Structure 1
Amino acid sequence: MRLSKRDHILDAALSVVEHNGVAALTYEAVSERSGITKSGLLYHFSSKEALLVALHERLAELWEDELVSSLGGPPEAATATERLRAYAEVSARSASGPELRLMLEATINPEFDRPWKRVIARWLPDPSGIDPEDPDAMQILIARLAADGLWMADSLNTLPLASSLRTAIARHLTEKLLG
Structure 2
Amino acid sequence: MRRSKRELILDAAVTLIAADGLEAVSFEALAEAAGLSKSGIIYHFPSRHELMLGIHRHLAEAWEVELERIAGARAAELDQAQRLRAVVISMGRTAELPELLMVLDARNEPEYKEVWAGVDKRWMPEPDSSDAYLVQLIAYGLWAHDHVHHEPLQAADRKRLIAAALEQIPT
TM value normalised by structure 1:
0.89
Note the C-alpha offset of 1:173: 1.1
Deviations 1:116-171 (A, max 9, x none): 100000011232xx2xxxxxx32111111111111111343545112343233122
Aligned with 2:163 (options 150, 162, 171):
171
Structure 1 unmatched runs, 5+: 131-136
Q: Is the 8 A contact 2:125 2:136 kept in 1?
A: no
Written as runs of structure 1 = structure 2, the 5 A alignment for 1:8-157 is 8-127=8-127, 130=128, 137-157=129-149
**Of the two, which has the highest radius of gyration?**
1
Give me the whole-angstrom Cα distance separating, in 1, the residues matched to 2:168 and 2:29. 48
Give me the whole-angstrom Cα distance separating, in 2, the residues matched to 1:145 and 1:159. 20
Amino acid corresponding to residue 147 of structure 1 in structure 2: A
Q: Is the 8 A contact 1:93 1:154 kept in 2?
A: no
Of 53-62 and 104-113, deviating more is 104-113
Q: Is the 8 A contact 1:89 1:167 kept in 2?
A: no
Give me the whole-angstrom Cα distance separating, in 1, the residues matched to 2:28 and 2:99. 21
Superposed CA RMSD in Å reads 1.6
Secondary structure in 1 matching 2:168: helix
Percent identical across equivalent pairs? 36
Provide runs of 4+ in structure 1 moved above 2 Å: 154-159, 162-165, 176-179
Give me the whole-angstrom Cα distance separating, in 2, the residues matched to 1:87 and 1:155. 19
Amino acid corresponding to residue 165 of structure 1 in structure 2: D
TM value normalised by structure 2:
0.92
Give me the whole-angstrom Cα distance separating, in 1, the residues matched to 2:150 and 2:73. 33
